[in-house]
Amino acid sequence: MKIAGRVGEVHSLFESTRDYCRAYLTEDASDFIIVVAPEDLAFEQEALRLEALAEGMKIRRFSDPFLDRAAIQRAFAEHLLDHNTLLFHGSTVAVDGRAYLFTAACGTGKSTHTRLWRQVFGERAMMVNDDKPFLRMENGGVLACGAPWSGKHGLDSNITVPLQGICVLERGLENTIRPITADDALPRLLHEACAPLDSGKTAKFHALVSTLAEKTPLWHMTCTKDPQAALTAFEAMSP
């Protein structure tokens, strides 16, 4: 399968994984090989348990096919770090060929907000990924790349588009948006980017997150669930 311009030859444990990733399958030559072992499923279940505890969320027992896909996602994230690409937690919508990424703590309403964008902009809007897009750093800027791991709603597209901005969302009683600095945003970006398991890649990870903060316009928004929230964000963030 091809993600963010790189091809991984994937050996999964379940045939359903191939169906799940069908839109990203390719016959191009592979850049690396991913083999999922049974013990990887237990590792992913424990990782998800710890993540739920840290975020104050309900602890769930996930199915083995789900954990199979999670292991593949993690392996792609590890390999793609070597190619200046981060896995990032956020809901990303493209309008007129440019991507807008909204990130926040779990349960804040990222998916609700990008749903408002699709409601307001209609056919002009397309979901890049509703949960964890890949962000590829290039000399000209940052590209948002679709991937099959797209949260409970399964909203993603196999597209790659320029990233116009990242916005940290917060629920509120009115719609207000303001630019923030790289220094202001860096703690949130570090928290929402997928850190590598390989400690030898930690320095590269931090450098890429810093590059993301420097190359991308950054915003903070307090928003409602009214469609006007999408218009307020777009008017501020669009070129």
- The whole-number average pLDDT for the span 7-34 is 97
Phi and psi, residue 238, nearest 5°: -75, 155
Q: Locate tokens 């931090």: which residue? A: 206
Which sequence spans correspond to the domains of the chain?
2-81, 86-237
User: Of 236, 101, 233, which Cα lies nearest the Cα of 166?
Assistant: 101
Task: Output the average pLDDT for the chain.
Answer: 95
Percent of the chain with pLDDT over 90: 91
Helix axes 64-81, 202-215, angle to 10 degrees: 80
Phi and psi, residue 99, nearest 5°: -100, 145
**Residue 185's pLDDT band (cuts 50, 70, 90):** very high
pTM: 0.95
> How does pLDDT run across 110-147, given as a tens digit for each residue?
999 999 999 999 999 999 999 999 999 998 899 999 99
User: Of 71, 20, 16, 13, which Cα lies nearest the Cα of 42?
Assistant: 71
Percent of the chain with pLDDT over 70: 100
Predicted local distance difference test score (pLDDT) of residue 124: 97
Query: CA–CA distance from 6 to each of 31, 84, 128, 136 (Å)?
Result: 6, 11, 17, 11
Predicted local distance difference test score (pLDDT) of residue 152: 87
Asked whether the predicted pLDDT for residue 104 surpasses 90, the reply is no
Predicted local distance difference test score (pLDDT) of residue 139: 87
**Residue 148's pLDDT band (cuts 50, 70, 90):** very high
Asked whether the predicted pLDDT for residue 161 surpasses 90, the reply is yes
Predicted local distance difference test score (pLDDT) of residue 140: 82
> How does pLDDT run across 193-228, given as a tens digit for each residue?
999 999 999 999 999 999 999 999 999 999 999 999
Asked whether the predicted pLDDT for residue 106 surpasses 90, the reply is no
**Residue 52's pLDDT band (cuts 50, 70, 90):** confident
- The whole-number average pLDDT for the span 54-69 is 92
**Yes or no: is domain 86-237 CATH 3.90.228.20?**
yes
- The whole-number average pLDDT for the span 13-22 is 96
Asked whether the predicted pLDDT for residue 107 surpasses 80, the reply is no
User: Of 36, 43, 22, which Cα lies nearest the Cα of 68?
Assistant: 36
Predicted local distance difference test score (pLDDT) of residue 56: 83
Asked whether the predicted pLDDT for residue 239 surpasses 80, the reply is yes
Q: How far apart are CA 110 and CA 130, in angstroms?
A: 8
Q: Locate tokens 């307090």: which residue? A: 222
